[in-house]
Amino acid sequence: MSQHHVIPFKTYMKVAAALVALTFLTVICHELHLGPLAGPVAFLIAAVKAALVLLYFMHLKYDNMQNRVIFGSGLIFLLLLIGFSALDIWTRVQSMSTL
């Protein structure tokens, strides 16, 4: 574990630049009108941005395994929430569904 690991300023700037670039990419993708792919692509870009923030700004890349596992468990709960809710919506009788 490198509790006192100091990330160089340069790295922070690179990550910030990547986040700005990905924001532009999101806008470009929106303009391209990707149809049914629009949502998944936007989510993918957002996930990459979130990962960059977690890894560098929140130091998860340099953290110990225990904290990574704790963070990972949070993701599992998120997957549970989305997974079960989606399962319900996808398996409803369509003629009776509000969606």
CB of 9 to another protein, least distance (A): 30
d(CA 99, CA 89): 8
CB of 14 to another protein, least distance (A): 30
d(CA 57, CA 64): 15
Check: CB of residue 46 under 8 Å from CB of residue 25. no
Q: Does 93 sit near another protein (CB under 8 A)?
A: yes
Q: Does 81 sit near another protein (CB under 8 A)?
A: yes
In the set 69, 74, 75, 95, which binds another protein (CB under 8 A)? 74
Pick the stretch among 27-35, 45-53, 56-64, 83-91 that binds another protein (CB under 8 A): 83-91
